[in-house]
């Protein structure tokens, strides 16, 4: 459910606002404490030769969010068990 709100940003000069650009404000729900687990399926492109190792520090861009993480990879299957890749 979307709502319209009035947001007052303290100690930010008006010159930082760019007309025509959106201001996106996010947060965690009351029961959430941090962004900790994200399960996604990655598909390699045919022209990619880069080898990604588990626990290697990467920067992720997911929608409008950007964060760094050290992912642990596993093989995707239809079962509830995942084989961890090193």
State the CB neighbour count (10 A cutoff) for residue 74: 13
Q: Is the Cα torsion angle 83, 54, 50, 35 positive or negative in sign?
A: positive
What is the 8-class DSSP label of residue 80?
Answer: S
pLDDT digits (tens, 9 = 90+) for 10-63: 998 989 888 888 888 877 777 777 767 777 787 888 888 888 888 999 998 887
Q: What angle do CA 47, 58, 51 make, to 5 degrees?
A: 35
The pLDDT value recorded for residue 35 is: 66
pLDDT of 86 > 60? The answer is no
The pLDDT value recorded for residue 57 is: 93
The pLDDT value recorded for residue 61 is: 85
The pLDDT value recorded for residue 85 is: 63
Owning domain of residue 11: 1-85
User: How many domains does the chain divide into?
Assistant: 1
């Amino acid at each position: 459910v979307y709502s319209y709100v009035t947001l007052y940003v303290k100690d930010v000069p008006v010159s930082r606002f760019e007309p025509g650009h959106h201001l996106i404000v996010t947060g965690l729900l009351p029961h959430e404490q941090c962004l900790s687990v994200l399960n996604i399926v990655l598909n390699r492109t045919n022209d990619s030769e880069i080898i990604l190792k588990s626990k290697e520090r990467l920067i992720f861009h997911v929608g409008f969010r950007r964060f760094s993480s050290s992912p642990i990879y596993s093989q995707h299957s239809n079962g509830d068990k995942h084989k961890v890749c090193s």
